[in-house]
Amino acid sequence: MPDVQTQQQQKITIRLPDGSERTHPTGATGYDVAEDIGAGLARDALAVKVNGEVRDLQRPIEEDADLEVLTWDDAEGKMVFWHSSAHLLAEALEALYGDVKFGVGPPIEDGFYYDVDFSDSGRDAPSSEDDLAEIEEKMQELAARDVPYEREPVSKDEAMRYFTEKGAPYKQELIEELEDGTITFYRQGEFTDLCRGPHLPSTGAITYPKLLSMAGAYWRGDEDRAQLTRIYGVSFPKKKLLDEHLEMLEKARERDHRKLGRELELFTFSETVGAGLPMWLPKGTTLRETLEGFLQQEQLERGYEPVVTPHIGRLDLYRTSGHYPYYRDSQFPPILEGEDEDGEEQGYLLKPMNCPHHVMIYKNKLHSYRDLPVRLAEFGTVYRHEQSGELGGLTRVRGFTQDDAHVFCTPEQVKAEFKDVIDLTLKVLDALDFDAFEAQLSFRDPDEAEKYVGGAEKWDAAEDAIREAAAEMGLVAQEEVGEAAFYGPKLDFMVQDALGRAWQLGTVQLDYNLPERFDLEYVGADDERHRPVMIHRAPFGSLERFIGVLIEHCGGDFPLWLAPEQVRILPVGDDFHDYARRVQATLREKDLRATVDDSDATVGYKIREAETQKVPVMLVVGGREEEAQTVAVRRHGSGEQDTQPLDDFAEALAEEVEAQMRGS
């Protein structure tokens, strides 16, 4: 029996997120603490966070600590749940497929995966839905045993011995890179895995696993190494959560811009025209040109000057810029005309970027420091031969139009120009009600100075200027070291599509390289020649990708000012077609895009059609309306109707469009 004194020393103090403190014996587990707080919490607890480190619930706590109990409602709680699910998947695969070699199996944002090599297993790698269902069933069966996940610290030698005996080359490679003393195994039932953890107390919680898809994935992300089969899944503690998740995936598919683009007749692709070459249908073109007009107006107000350049340029242009042949793999093959007297290939290249052309416009005349900044803007279409497996919808294409502009300025003007572009980009995103974006600053890796053009002082000054510009504009931006292009630091705006994939939209990039290569100059106040700095910027990025993401963002319900068809007039019968046309003319006078449905369908049918095609405003007109010179207004998505005098309505609607474009 220990004396009182020792017992005192064996107490630890646990501080909870709300600031309250509890005393527990040394070696109490996270589960003990959760249970002490409440039985409900203990039941829901998945893991604990001890002094900022996520740990197993049943791991003893040896000293005073800040502690947070993690449940399904915490992102980190879900991660533990899914990580444990990945181990369960591995165990199921081993049970069903025998000698499989495991790569890594981490949790991800919305589920988990495991990379597996099936080449030595007794049967073919899983490929069908049925195979996945079989694995799922096995997982459920294994989970039902409700065995604990046991943590076991091992030495590097022990770890290596275990996986060598097992014949697990990928695991051996992972162990080689770990430091002795930091290695742990986790074991559930018959299955042991190299793993940092943490994990759930036991398998029983994973009652609803769902395997979603399979795909190849290179070992360690290196395309020169073996390709493993990656199995993606997700899992839930309750059926309701699984159902909700599947429903959410279904809804995401409904928002997919490829589906909506076809249904709303915005754009199309043709195998005969070529992969990744979108064709804009009349409605999509209207949408696109409305966006272009909006941006162009903004840019004119900010001192941008419009330019237009051709879609091709001589190879020499791209030799000077460095695009040819350096990026040859991602360019369409050049149009060759033969060799010059020096044996150099001559010909033309479809332009992969607009900048070389804009640079030549800058060089058209000698610029004074008084001219700067020179801002040349063009909706410039470029062509890049993206890898075939990369193409998809409008988000990754081979021919696309950038809302491109190049700013030529002095180093001192960089910060102000960045601020203006940030302001413009935020204004554009705001007008489109786009709030779910992230900003990323990409800086150089100072340890690899040789990878970048321009001296360290230049880069430091530029990175400071950009960082300050973002801060002064109230833009929260993540800084990524080593992500800069070789020619300069940049600021990107990232968004996610309906399926949660991240895409880069807007970009602002500083460039030290092209001014050098093209020997750009301006005459300073000192009457000497100086080198300007160049900024590439595109608030939308590419119109194709931007519109693709925009479609998914609003689910095809475009704001009134952007809707290709803003108003559809629905006469109740033939006798009212004339009045319908008069209504249309009145709206068109106000620059509103209005059509008349003069088919012989019933009113109910016409309404259904207009609703399905997401036309924002429907006007039903018949005898009553013609008599009183009114329209019966119905808005998309709302069954309500409201009769208004025609002229008042046209006026009000035009004002609504105006207000939206002003961003209010």
Question: Within a 10 A sphere around the Cβ of 660, how many other Cβ atoms?
Answer: 16
User: CA triplet 77, 83, 87: central angle to 5 degrees?
Assistant: 145
Is residue 477 within 8 A of residue 495, CB to CB? The reply is: no
Listed ranges 18-26, 322-330, 416-424, 649-657: which one lies at the site for RNA (CB under 7 A): 322-330
Our finding on whether 353 is near RNA (CB under 7 A) is yes
Our finding on whether 618 is near RNA (CB under 7 A) is yes
Catalytic (active site) residue 406: yes
323 closest CA partner among 269, 384, 367, 369: 384
402 closest CA partner among 276, 295, 516: 295
Q: In terms of DSSP H, where are the helices of 119-238?
A: 129-144, 156-166, 169-176
Strand residue runs (E) in 79-225 = 101-102, 107-108, 111-117, 150-153, 184-188, 191-194, 208-218
Total residues contacting RNA by CB under 7 A comes to 69
Our finding on whether 327 is near RNA (CB under 7 A) is yes
Q: State the catalytic residue, choosing from 83, 230, 367, 384.
A: 384
Listed ranges 402-410, 520-528, 539-547, 566-574: which one lies at the site for RNA (CB under 7 A): 566-574
Q: State the catalytic residue, choosing from 210, 406, 419, 545.
A: 406
Is residue 237 within 8 A of residue 81, CB to CB? The reply is: yes
Our finding on whether 612 is near RNA (CB under 7 A) is yes
In angstroms, give the least distance from the CB of 66 to RNA: 34
Tokens of 245: 């998740």
In angstroms, give the least distance from the CB of 277 to RNA: 8
Interaction mask 462-501, RNA, x per CB under 7 A: -----------------------x-------------x-x
Listed ranges 195-203, 340-348, 461-469, 597-605: which one lies at the site for RNA (CB under 7 A): 597-605
Say if residue 17 is preceded by a cis peptide, omega within 30 of 0. no
In angstroms, give the least distance from the CB of 462 to RNA: 16
In angstroms, give the least distance from the CB of 623 to RNA: 4
Q: Please identify which residue in 255, 262, 531, 590 interacts with RNA, judged by CB under 7 A.
A: 262
Burial class of residue 130, CB neighbours in 10 A (0-12, 13-18, 19+):
exposed
Q: Which of residues 368-397 bind RNA (CB under 7 A)?
A: 384, 386-393, 396
Catalytic (active site) residue 259: no
Q: Please identify which residue in 37, 41, 125, 554 interacts with RNA, judged by CB under 7 A.
A: 125
Q: Which of residues 202-231 bind RNA (CB under 7 A)?
A: 213-218, 221-223, 227, 229-230
In angstroms, give the least distance from the CB of 647 to RNA: 17
Tokens of 116: 């597996």
In angstroms, give the least distance from the CB of 546 to RNA: 15
Q: Could you give phi then psi for residue 572, rounded to 5 degrees?
A: -80, -15
Catalytic (active site) residue 490: yes
Is residue 614 within 8 A of residue 607, CB to CB? The reply is: no
Our finding on whether 352 is near RNA (CB under 7 A) is yes
Catalytic (active site) residue 355: yes
Q: State the catalytic residue, choosing from 404, 492, 497, 597.
A: 404
Q: State the catalytic residue, choosing from 138, 367, 467, 536.
A: 536
User: CA triplet 380, 299, 556: central angle to 5 degrees?
Assistant: 70
Task: Give the Cα separation of 414 and 120 in Å (integer).
Answer: 58
Task: Give the Cα separation of 42 and 48 in Å (integer).
Answer: 11
Task: Give the Cα separation of 108 and 90 in Å (integer).
Answer: 16
Q: Which of residues 390-429 bind RNA (CB under 7 A)?
A: 390-393, 396
Binning the chain into helix, strand and coil, the percentages to the nearest 5 are 40, 30, 35
Listed ranges 81-89, 408-416, 543-551, 613-621: which one lies at the site for RNA (CB under 7 A): 613-621
Between helix 75-97 and helix 129-144 the angle, nearest 10°, is 110
Contact positions vs RNA (CB under 7 A): 125, 127-128, 213-218, 221-223, 227, 229-230, 232, 258, 262, 269, 271, 274-276, 323, 327, 330-331, 352-353, 384, 386-393, 396, 485, 499, 501, 509, 572-575, 600-605, 607-608, 611-612, 618, 620-625, 632, 634, 637, 639, 641
Residues designated as active site: 355, 384, 402, 404, 406, 490, 536
